[in-house]
Amino acid sequence: MSRDYEELEDRPQSLLYERPDVIAYLSHCRGKAAAAIAAETAESLRGLSGFHWLKFSRAETHVYNIRRIQHHAAHLSLRLRLDWGAEVPWFGSGWRETQR
């Protein structure tokens, strides 16, 4: 059984992610984001987004992506609350590395 798109199957999930796996994936994503942002220049940020359906600059694309992440985080929080009664506490901002 593949782990890809398991959430789209019409059954309860059986393949769950452990906290260390999620933290490792978060670290991977942060590294990719930091590298992508570090590679930008003033000129590249003024350039086109790189996607024909996004008619704005690369700088605006980064803001757009942040908004999309916020949207998906809110949707995840809603699903956890509705499906499992789990409250997701709000945390401060920033990329503080924490181990719990």
Q: pLDDT digit string (tens) for 83-93?
A: 889 888 776 66
For residue 37, what are the contacts with CB-CB under 8 A and spacing of at least 6? 62
Instruction: Examine the pLDDT at 98 and tell me if it is beyond 70.
Output: no
Whether 42 and 53 have beta carbons less than 8 Å apart is answered as no
Largest CA distance in the chain: 49
**Residues linked to residue 48 through DSSP beta bridges, in sequence order:** 57
Going through 4-54 in order, the beta strands assigned E by DSSP cover: none
pTM of the model: 0.65
Q: Measured between alpha carbons, how far is 55 from 49 in angstroms, rounded to an integer?
A: 7
List beta partners, residue 57: 48
Using one digit for the tens of pLDDT, what is the confidence trace for 44-76? Answer: 999 999 999 999 999 999 999 999 999 998 999
